[in-house]
């Protein structure tokens, strides 16, 4: 299990101060998949990095299976497997097996044990036939699956997945999702993603984060219900105010198909159709604004708060 209590993280650099996390309370249980969603810069990756002991919190607490991520970092690292969006954690001149054996050695696995485990995991992620090939020849989707295999080398109780399907094709994405669902039967899984259909398929619970704070949480059905009554309508593009543009699905010959809160759609047209909101609809309504629109009070330089983001 993972739990954070009033977790904060403030970055200071060359006179800038950025509050990346502001009192985050978060929980992920064993045997389930918990998703972190929110705009770019909302704090999702920062939270993952704190849980995985890569960076220290400014205040508050975080625990993995009861171990404190600050005072018991070694025990936490033994419990977690981490998959990041970066491919730099791999050695591209080594084969798939050699990469996994190397990481096994970091967890004090013997050579034969690591080789056996590596072959087993390559089969599990569908890369058994590629194990002896240098990974410079792997596709992006294959590298994502290899990263998951690497995270599982020491059989962790907790797996953290930061955008595991980023940049990969539809077939590979499906294979990764199937693998994640299988992993969740006896582990704690936390993932981030900007793909709401993926989140809806995988997640048992969702935390919506914006500007470093949890603004909503619940099951996919509970998050959808928070959107209230939705409606669809074709509206002349010229009649759509700027604040409603985020609800536009597509443009056609001077008109736009727009889906949003029924009370807002009714102000644009008298002809509309009531619809059930999707998870994507709920996300756009609750957390889908640009982070820059909500962060002016979080960024300051030399004591003065401003809208400009330093990163």
Q: Are 1 and 282 in contact (CB under 8 A)?
A: no
CATH number at 68 reads 3.40.50.300
Name the average pLDDT for the chain: 88
Q: What is d(CA 87, CA 153) in angstroms, rounded to the nearest whole number?
A: 17
Co-location of 137 and 240 in the same domain: no
- Mention every residue, 6+ apart, whose C-beta is less than 8 A from residue 120: none
Q: Name the token pair of 52.
A: 């995985």
Co-location of 89 and 171 in the same domain: yes
Co-location of 184 and 289 in the same domain: no
Express as a percent the part of the chain with pLDDT over 70: 91
The mean pLDDT of 63-71, rounded to a whole number, is: 96
Neighbours of 105 (CB within 10 A): 14
Co-location of 132 and 207 in the same domain: yes
Residue 104 lies in a domain: yes
Co-location of 271 and 199 in the same domain: no
The confidence band for 169, taking pLDDT boundaries of 50, 70 and 90, is: confident
Co-location of 79 and 169 in the same domain: yes
Tell me the per-residue pLDDT of 143-161, one tens digit each, with 9 for 90 and over.
888 998 999 999 999 999 9
**Would you state the pLDDT for residue 297?**
40
Of 4, 47, 33, the C-alpha closest to 205 is 33
pLDDT at 308 over 50: no
Torsion over CA of 155, 159, 162 and 168, rounded to 10 degrees?
A: 60
pLDDT at 179 over 90: no
Whole-angstrom CA distances from 216 to 84, 92, 142, 231, 289 are: 24, 40, 34, 22, 14
Whole-angstrom CA distances from 57 to 71, 147, 205, 296 are: 12, 26, 24, 22
Co-location of 68 and 119 in the same domain: yes
Tell me the per-residue pLDDT of 185-197, one tens digit each, with 9 for 90 and over.
889 999 998 889 8
Co-location of 136 and 246 in the same domain: no
Co-location of 87 and 209 in the same domain: yes
The mean pLDDT of 235-263, rounded to a whole number, is: 91
- pTM of the complete model: 0.86
Domain membership of residue 249 as a residue range: 228-293
The confidence band for 27, taking pLDDT boundaries of 50, 70 and 90, is: very high
């Amino acid at each position: 299990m993972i739990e954070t209590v009033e977790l904060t993280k403030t970055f200071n650099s060359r006179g800038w101060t950025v509050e990346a996390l502001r009192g985050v309370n978060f929980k992920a249980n064993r045997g389930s998949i918990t998703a972190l969603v929110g705009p770019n810069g909302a704090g999702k990756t920062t939270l993952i990095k704190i849980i995985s002991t890569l960076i220290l919190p400014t205040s508050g607490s975080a625990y993995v299976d009861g171990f404190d991520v600050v005072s018991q970092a070694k025990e936490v690292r033994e419990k977690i497997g981490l998959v990041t969006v970066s491919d730099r954690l791999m050695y591209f001149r080594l084969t798939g097996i050699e990469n996994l054996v190397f990481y096994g050695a970091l967890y004090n696995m013997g050579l034969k044990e690591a080789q056996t485990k590596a072959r087993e995991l390559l089969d599990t992620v569908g890369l058994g036939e590629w194990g002896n090939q240098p990974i410079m020849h792997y596709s992006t989707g294959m590298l994502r699956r290899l990263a998951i295999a690497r995270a599982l080398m020491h059989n962790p109780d907790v797996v953290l997945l930061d955008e595991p399907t980023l940049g990969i094709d539809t077939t590979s994405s499906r294979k990764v999702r199937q693998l994640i669902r299988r992993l969740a039967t006896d582990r704690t899984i936390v993932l981030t993603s900007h793909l709401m259909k993926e989140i809806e398929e995988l997640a048992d619970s969702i935390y919506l984060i914006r500007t470093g704070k949890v603004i909503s949480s619940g099951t996919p059905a509970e998050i959808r219900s928070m959107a209230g009554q939705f409606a669809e309508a074709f509206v002349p593009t010229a009649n759509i105010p700027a604040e409603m543009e985020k609800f536009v699905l597509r443009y056609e010959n001077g008109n736009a198909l727009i889906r949003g809160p029924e009370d807002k759609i009714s102000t644009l047209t008298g002809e509309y159709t009531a619809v059930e909101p999707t998870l994507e609809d709920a996300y756009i309504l609750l957390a889908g604004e640009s982070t820059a629109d909500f962060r002016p009070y979080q960024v300051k330089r030399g004591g003065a708060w401003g809208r400009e983001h330093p990163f």
